[in-house]
Amino acid sequence: MGREEYRTLVADAQKIVVKVGTSTLTHSNGKLNLEQIERLVRQLSDLRNQGKDVVLVSSGAIGAGMGKLNLQERPKTIPEKQAVAAVGQGILLHIYEKIFAEYGQATAQLLLTKADLEHRQRFLNGRNTLLTLLRLGVIPIVNENDTVAFEEIKFGDNDTLAALVGTLIDADLVILLTDIDGLYNGDPRRQKDVQRISVVETIDAQIESLAGSVGSKFGSGGMATKVTAASIAVNAGIPLMIGHGADPHIIRKLTSGEDVGTLFVPIDMKPHLRKKWIAFGSHVGGRILVDEGAKEALLHKGKSLLPSGITAVEGNFSAGDVVEIADKDGREFARGITNYSGLELNRIKGQKSKDICPILGYKDFDEVIHRDNLSLIL
């Protein structure tokens, strides 16, 4: 399916998540680009005036703090990053609130961490809060809670956060704005005669290799994190687009289906909310390796995972934890909630379900992972 076929889908998107990166929000010296922020706010306000729901995932807290503190280089240690983010977060949100108000829009701030999405109840609370704000006509502004989030601040992954927010609210479209106008078949900053890839229908090893590690000194993400985010979105049935944030009309162009940026085509069916949480939000406690027969049954026959198909168990996890499911080569293709602990599975792996009780002395379930608690990662 090409871009032409997706014009109607993208144009009809009602619930849109827009992520803007540090490199788009700041000048080369790290200080905030107020003109660029005003253009972004105007475009998002126009989406709201069209009756669309908008969530903004904004980087820039560290960049804003760098400008305030007159730092020329991005801080390298975790405490330094957290301290600079604490300075910059209030500055950034104050500017957003002031400019959005000039366009008659109300805003709200949400600071999230991975833990908020890994815990099922917090996942649902975050979803309910966001959906309620949207029903009230508010534009939520979401950011990683940089002052406390160790892992996220280390990897600088607001691209992934945007994709996860998209799955959280069942978005119709996720847009990532950056300082490059899409995915190329090379590095356009270093190579000549490279071409922008207009549509990506399948995220494979070749696409991942093209992503490289292009980034700026004030942001910590690159094209690789955007492709990772795209994988999350499309597996959740959500189209994702990458566009150049410096274009003053980029959001209109992307949402109207113009041939700009890069469109990642979604898998057709949106999974149930519980399966979205299993696949993308939950903390992974360990890994189960299965044989080819079990892989085929899970991928193509809609079956549950039985102990007979398990070849190896990795990790010290408990019953009820989410675990990866990988093939004999170690490639993950699914995640699920296990009915048995890692210790128990090491005793019953490769055995038939009828043998669970004789081996363990009890049998709570025939299945290691029931198909209703399993989510494929394609």
Give the tens place of pLDDT for each residue, 43-57.
999 999 999 999 999
- 148, 183: one domain: yes
- 238, 372: one domain: no
- 157, 109: one domain: yes
Q: How many residues does the chain have?
A: 378
Residue 150: pLDDT over 80: no
Average pLDDT over the chain, rounded to an integer? 85
Of 352, 244, 338, whose CA–CA distance to 288 is shortest? 338
Q: What is the pTM of this model?
A: 0.73
Residue 78 banded pLDDT, cuts 50, 70, 90: confident
Domain end, chosen from 257, 274, 291, is at: 274
- 229, 322: one domain: no
Per the CB < 8 A criterion, the answer to whether 243 and 181 are in contact is: yes
Q: How many helices (H) and strands (E) does the chain have?
A: 16, 13
Residue 145: pLDDT over 80: no
Q: What is the CATH number of the domain that holds 310?
A: 2.30.130.10
- 302, 169: one domain: no
Of 209, 269, 261, whose CA–CA distance to 234 is shortest? 269
Residue 215 banded pLDDT, cuts 50, 70, 90: very low
Residue 124 banded pLDDT, cuts 50, 70, 90: confident
* Number of independent structural domains in the chain: 2
**pLDDT in the model for residue 213:** 46
Per the CB < 8 A criterion, the answer to whether 25 and 32 are in contact is: yes
**pLDDT in the model for residue 371:** 85
Q: Give me the residues paired with residue 313 across strands.
A: 288
CA atoms within 13 A on the CB side of 11: 11
- 32, 132: one domain: yes
CA angle in degrees (0–180, nearest 5) for 19-20-21:
120
- 185, 295: one domain: no
- 33, 172: one domain: yes
Domain end, chosen from 214, 239, 274, is at: 274
- 26-42 average pLDDT score: 87
- 258, 299: one domain: no
Q: Which of helix, strand or coil describes residue 40? A: helix
Domain end, chosen from 274, 305, 330, is at: 274
- 209, 331: one domain: no
Token pair for 200: 């990506």
Per the CB < 8 A criterion, the answer to whether 261 and 254 are in contact is: yes
- 107, 221: one domain: yes
- 225-243 average pLDDT score: 89
Q: At what angle do helices 78-102 and 61-68 cross, to 10 degrees?
A: 100
Residue 324: pLDDT over 90: yes
- What is the residue range of 98's domain? 3-274
Of 76-85, 144-153, 328-337, the poorest mean pLDDT is in 144-153
- 110, 186: one domain: yes
257: left (phi over 0), alpha (psi -120 to 50) or beta: left
Residue 220 banded pLDDT, cuts 50, 70, 90: very low
Of 205-219, 300-314, 337-351, the poorest mean pLDDT is in 205-219
**pLDDT in the model for residue 214:** 46
- 307-319 average pLDDT score: 93
Q: What is the CATH number of the domain that holds 229?
A: 3.40.1160.10
d(CA 275, CA 281): 9
**pLDDT in the model for residue 282:** 66
- Higher-pLDDT residue of 227 and 7 is 227
**pLDDT in the model for residue 253:** 92
Of 35-49, 89-103, 263-277, the poorest mean pLDDT is in 263-277
